[in-house]
Structure formats: C-alpha cells, structure tokens
Amino acid sequence: MAFCALFTRLLSASRPQKNGDSALAGIAHTIIFWATPEDALRLGAASAAANCLAGSPGATRLGHIRRLQNEIRLETIETGPEHFRYDSFLRSSWSAQEGVMKKSIGDNMIPRGWSFEQGLELVKKAGYDGIELWLGEVPWFQMNTTDTQVTELRRKVENAGLVVSNVSTGLHWKTPLSARDPKVRAEAIRIVERELETAQLLGCDAILVVTGLVTQEVPYNEVYQRCLDAMQQLTPVAAKARVKIGCENCNSEQRFLLTPREFWTFLNEVDSPFVGIHLDVGNIHDTGFAEQWIEMHGPRITRIHLKDVMKKRGRCCDTVYTSLFIGDNDWPAIRAALTKVRYDGWLIAEMEARYRYAQDQQFYDTAADMDRLISAKL
C-alpha cells in the first residue's frame, strides 16, 4: 500500500503530458529487472526528470537518468506533489546541464596537516563539483571507519556544496586481487566489498579497483585468471549495491592489460554491466594513446582520471606524471574522443607531481585547466 501511495504521488507530481510516460517507463523497467519499490520510484523520478532535460523522450540520455537516479531521495517524493517539483529538483542537481562533464579531485590531494573540512572548502572554492574519496589513504576514511562515520563524511561533503564522485583505493597495490596467497586475495576482496558498501552510503555509483599486478614471480596468465575470478565473484555484490566497479588501467606500473584490446577482452569475459574501466589518460604513456582507449571503451568508462605524462623521463623528476597540458598527451585528440563517444561523466584530477609551495594554488590551476579541456578551448 505504501508503494502504491508513493507511486500515485510520483505520477501526480510529474507533468502529465511530458513526464508521466517517462516515469511509467522507468518504473516498469525497474519492476521487471530490479523488483524493489524503492528502486522503481527512484528510476521513475529520474526518467521523468531526465526527460525534462532532453525536451523529448527520444533524446533522453541514459547517463542523466543514472545520475539523477542516485540524486533523488524517497523522502522528496513522499512529501507529495505540492512540494515535489522537477524544475526545482533539476536546479539543485549537479546533472542539470546536459552534456557537461563535471570536475572532481581526490581527497588524497588535500595538503598534509589540513582537516577534511578545510580540504572541502578549498575544493569548493577552486570550482570543483565533487570529491573523490580514497579508502585507506586519508585519516578520515579507513577500512575501520564505521558506517556512521562514513555517513557523516557524506554530510560534510554535501554541506560544502559538493557530492562524492566515486570511491577509490590504493590498498590493492599491497594487497592485490591476483596474489598467490588465498588469505591475501580474501583481504583484497573485502577491500572491494567495503568500497561498494561505502559508495552506497556516500551516494555515488562507481568505485576504482586496481585489478591485479604482474610480477616476476606471479606471471601474466595467473594474474589474468585470478582477476577474472575475482570480478565474477564481485559482480553480484556490485549489482546488488547498484554500484559499478571501474577497473583502472595502470598499464606499465601494473604490467597487466597493456592494450585497449586486452582490456576489452577482459571486460567481455567478465560480462557484466557493473564492471567497466576507470580510465586514466596519463597511465597509458608509453603503451599507447589515450584517445584510442577512449574511443574503444566509450560506454564502459565509469570515470576518467586526468593527469599529463612525460613519455621520456628527465633527470630532474622522480615521476613521469605532471600537470595538465605540460606533458606529451595529445589533449585536442583526447577531447575529440570524449565528444565522439559522448562522454558526459566525471573527470577527476590526479596530481601526482605536487607544488612544493602554495599547494592550494594547484587546486585552482588544475580546475582552470579542466575547464579549458571541457570547453575544448585548446
């Protein structure tokens, strides 16, 4: 009965001739495939709201529906049609501008000694739309951080006028899914499960995973099979959470899935809409060209990490990675590829080469660079 009442309110809140059909289609699809009333209501509202953006049902973008679906709250629908309006909902949603990519940056970039709150204030002032939270790399977000504490992190993010773009982790470099030791592999699986759990609590729909590490002791074929087994084990967990696992391309550092074709084959074998690629355009450096990866993987891209790369390391540097537009990436080609595949998701700054002084300025400079990339003024 409660579902029927909420369903009636949702339809009455929709503009009858424009959004009612979209809401009905979204709800019907959800009932067929997902079965829970809460999911049905969220997708119904998101479908109607996305239809507002598109202007016509045939132009509705799936990406908008998915992101709006994560933004909508059931209590908003429960207040009834007198309080629920799609136009006000769209104004408050970060997804309101059709086709506009959004900027995020990792909380592991916050200068040492700063609090989470200070970092959020800087991120907002610098012009970002969201923040990437790194599990295990910052004091406020660890494996032993409780659900209550994670929920409090979300509150702080939203109070700062931001959203969580995704959850990432570097824990798999020391605890790989491809380890020979089954105890290590079990720990690695638990890390991914915790990422999925916290993503739900934080209101985002994607996580980053380093799938496996090829070493002299652990050869490629072993790594491939163990990573495939791990992803197939985790797929039902991700589907239940409605959160996508983005396998990051770490290329040379990982010595695994070095080409876009290899990565494509791997994802085909996993065979799940909840496992895709978290594409890092800098990590490709001496193993290919970022624009080709974008064109090949298009709809499977869950998020994009942005950094530039010096393909020939100089004596002055301890890393090949650098700030945007300084390195050897072909940024006009990358931007053209993003347009070609109609990517309108999150772009996340990953600044591995840090300013020695005035570290807060790097946040502003990087945001300005990202704006130039988004606007294609290169």
Q: Is the pLDDT score of 31 beyond 70?
A: no
The label of the residue with tokens 């773009």 reads 165
302, 244 in Cβ contact below 8 A? yes
Sign of the dihedral through C-alpha 70, 91, 2, 47: negative
Q: What is 102-375's CATH topology?
A: TIM Barrel (3.20.20)
DSSP annotation string for 196-245 = HHHHHHHT--EEEE------SSS-HHHHHHHHHHHHHHHHHHHHHHT-EE
What DSSP state is assigned to residue 111? P
Q: Tell me whether strands 308-309 and 321-322 are parallel, antiparallel or unpaired.
A: antiparallel
Residues sharing a CB contact under 8 Å with residue 147, sequence separation 6 or more, in sequence order: 197, 201
Q: Is the pLDDT score of 231 beyond 60?
A: yes
Q: Among residues of the chain, what percentage have pLDDT more than 70?
A: 72
Q: Is the pLDDT score of 159 beyond 80?
A: yes
CA distance 212 to 220: 9
CA distance 154 to 147: 11
- Model pLDDT, residue 287: 82
Confidence tier at 158 by pLDDT (50, 70, 90) = very high
- Model pLDDT, residue 286: 78
List pLDDT tens digits, range 160-211: 999 999 999 999 999 999 999 999 999 999 999 999 999 999 999 999 999 9
Work out the mean pLDDT of the chain and round it to a whole number: 83
Tell me the two tokens of residue 321.
């990675």
pTM: 0.75
List pLDDT tens digits, range 330-340: 999 999 999 99
N-terminal to C-terminal alpha carbon distance within the chain: 56
- Model pLDDT, residue 253: 84
List pLDDT tens digits, range 72-112: 554 444 444 434 333 333 333 333 344 689 999 999 999 99
Q: Is the pLDDT score of 224 beyond 70?
A: yes
Tell me the two tokens of residue 53.
């953006």
List pLDDT tens digits, range 349-373: 998 888 989 999 999 999 999 999 9
Q: Which residue has the higher pLDDT, 251 or 65?
A: 251
Q: Which residue has the higher pLDDT, 43 or 205?
A: 205
Per-domain residue ranges of the chain: 2-92, 102-375
129, 162 in Cβ contact below 8 A? yes
